[in-house]
Copies of this chain bind each other. A is one copy, B any other.
Amino acid sequence: MTPGLDDDLVSRVTESFGRQAFMQHIGASLEEVAAGRVVLRLPFDARLTQQNGLFHGGVIATIADVAGGYAGYSLFEAGTDVLTVEFKLNLLAPARGAFLTAHGQVLKSGRTLTICALKVFDHHEAGERLCAAGQQTLIKLK
């Protein structure tokens, strides 16, 4: 966890993330939580693959959506909740390697709606590579 952050922001995100059973089921964890920016990490597991043994597109979409959702949520007031209104994702390259990271970054935080940029990278010996990019609309629930 990045040091020096608003504890409340980090603990709110961490607490909500911890209640997402599906994150445990796929093995994703929070790698970075900052104001308006969240990074997830997902190690490779053969149970997460599509027909050719690559990371499944649904897995990539899942961690992208969650990274963006918590990036938005990190800027919300206590006592609110976040829902994804919609997202769009381009799969740019086959995702393989030891692990993925998903990066959610707030582009615009409004009173009701928040818009985030989504990026997913795969990581292998040859380095990291952008394998998906997208954009997401979130709504704040009071």
Most chain B CB within 10 A, of A88, A93, A130, A134, is at: A88
Q: A51-B16, A92-B107, A115-B92 are in contact. Are A58 and B135 (CB under 8 A)?
A: no
One of B56, B92, B113 near A62 (C-beta < 8 A):
B56
Check A108–B92 contact: CB distance below 8 A: yes
* A75: interface (CB < 8 Å): no
Residue from the list B22, B24, B83 in contact with A58, Cβ < 8 A: B22
A112 at the interface (CB under 8 A from B): yes
- Which residues does A use to contact B, with CB under 8 Å? 16-17, 19-22, 24-26, 46-52, 56-59, 61-63, 65-66, 69, 81, 83-93, 107-108, 112-113, 115, 117, 130, 133-135, 137, 139
Q: Which 6 A-B pairs have the closest CB atoms?
A: A58-B62, A88-B88, A22-B56, A19-B51, A86-B90, A25-B47
